[in-house]
Amino acid sequence: MTPQAVLSQPLTLRCGVPIKNRLFKSAMSEALGNRERAPTPELVRLYGAWADGGIGLCITGNVMIDRRALGEPGNVVIEDDRHMAELKAWAQAATRNHTQCWVQLNHPGKQSPKGLNKETVSPSAVPFRPEMQLLFATPRELTDAEIRDLIARYARAAGLVKQAGFTGVQIHGAHGYLVSQFLSPHHNRRTDEWGGSPEKRRRFVLEVYRAMRAAVGSDFPIGIKLNSADFQRGGFSEEESLDVIRALEAEGIDLVEISGGTYEAPAMTGVKQQPVKDSTRQREAYFLAFAEKARQAVKVPLVVTGGFRSIEGMAAAIESGAVDCVGLARALALETDLPNRLLAGQQPRYQVRPIKTGIRAIDNKGILEITWYTGQLKRIGRGEAPKPDESGLWVFIKMVGAQMGVGRKKKVTRVRAT
């Protein structure tokens, strides 16, 4: 088969839902929610562009389940039906052209910048490493009652997603957010029923899945984005990740997207990746070796996101049997019609490159990558073309300036209030 023929094959999930091709848009933070935490016309325009661009399965950027716990400014929050009209408009645009669009549901846990929320919470009160404590506060440990409330919030949000017209949901269980924190022995040092052993650490994600499944029924897809590992000393390991995938498959999960890393060790962006052999580099994907191990353990559809550069590399990953779909993210911030090009046998116009300022302390953190690509998504949402050559240093300067402006506004408000 030609590479484009491989990528054009449909895939039917275990719940019976068909995906029209093997191209999967992984979640990227858009930061396009309004002050009420509702979807905006810019989100509608952005997701309509991706739907028209030919993607088979599109995952939204992280949507929060609790407005008291934002991951970044501009998050959409789904707690109740107050913004159902806006959610339906977003879903209608995102699912046109027979596109599957799933909402990624998330809670940041401790991984939220200082000043964004009143407080941050986590399974345990474990601080960030010293050089990141200027940006991230030490969290408060969650109570048992709060944990159970969070599980209910995931389920309620999933039901609202289905009501809005989206075609599935994805649990964000990777990249150091709350579900990932529960799974990690570094972040989760509890000794109650929610921690203390691998079985207890994965209880939270299993309870979240069960509650969501009860809310949406058996024929509505639920997937998960899961770390292959945290890449932190004492963190979530590949062995534990495989056990979590086995447990989720037994529960009925429809698809597993494999990634890795946290804000402290951002392997998902390619930053601080360990040296690899030429043979591994030629296969392109960051986490394909782990996917091969997972494929030996489970039959649930698998996706790997990160590192794909060519149509041949994408097709080879699928033909190997290790994955069922190939995940694309940053490339789709540079060209929204990339899937149509790939399915026509054409190569990407642009190659994803590391975003650098030339300042090592900044370049080693994942936050610059997130900010740069979020800027591209905002351009598309405004109806403008992306800027693939935009300076990383300039984006960093604008980010700092914006934060300083917010700080000045807050200070003025406090002065006036007194």
Per residue in 269-286, pLDDT (tens digit) is: 444 444 444 444 444 567
Question: Quick one: pLDDT at residue 285?
Answer: 61
Residue 217, pLDDT > 80, answer yes
Sign of the Cα pseudo-torsion (33, 52, 166, 206, in order): negative
Lowest mean pLDDT, pick from 82-96, 125-139, 350-364: 350-364
For 136-151, what is each residue's pLDDT tens digit? 999 999 999 999 999 9
Q: Are 161 and 78 in contact (CB under 8 A)?
A: yes
Residue 414, pLDDT > 60, answer no
Strand-strand pairing, 23-25 and 18-19: unpaired
Q: Are 103 and 78 in contact (CB under 8 A)?
A: yes
Residue 205, pLDDT > 50, answer yes
Number of domains in the chain: 1
pLDDT average, residue stretch 240-269: 85
Question: Quick one: pLDDT at residue 235?
Answer: 77
Question: Quick one: pLDDT at residue 232?
Answer: 64
pTM of this structure: 0.90
CA–CA distance, 348 with 178 (Å, rounded to integer): 34
User: Residue 413 falls within a domain, yes or no?
Assistant: no
User: Residue 203 falls within a domain, yes or no?
Assistant: yes
Question: Quick one: pLDDT at residue 275?
Answer: 45
Percent of the chain past pLDDT 90, that is, above it, reads: 74
| CB burial readout 106-120, b (16+ within 10 A) else e | bbbbbbbbeebbeeb
pLDDT average, residue stretch 47-66: 98
CA–CA distance, 154 with 78 (Å, rounded to integer): 9
Question: Quick one: pLDDT at residue 282?
Answer: 47
Question: Quick one: pLDDT at residue 358?
Answer: 81
CA–CA distance, 263 with 208 (Å, rounded to integer): 23
Q: Which of 67, 58, 164 is nearest to 106 (CA)?
A: 67
Q: Are 181 and 237 in contact (CB under 8 A)?
A: no
Q: Which amino acid is at 121?
A: V
User: Residue 123 falls within a domain, yes or no?
Assistant: yes
Structural domain harbouring 212? 3-354
User: Residue 268 falls within a domain, yes or no?
Assistant: yes
Percent of the chain past pLDDT 70, that is, above it, reads: 89
- CATH number for position 106: 3.20.20.70
Strand-strand pairing, 11-12 and 18-19: antiparallel
User: Residue 325 falls within a domain, yes or no?
Assistant: yes
Question: Quick one: pLDDT at residue 264?
Answer: 63
pLDDT average, residue stretch 329-344: 96
User: Residue 103 falls within a domain, yes or no?
Assistant: yes
Lowest mean pLDDT, pick from 19-33, 64-78, 313-327, 343-357: 343-357
User: Residue 115 falls within a domain, yes or no?
Assistant: yes
User: Residue 319 falls within a domain, yes or no?
Assistant: yes
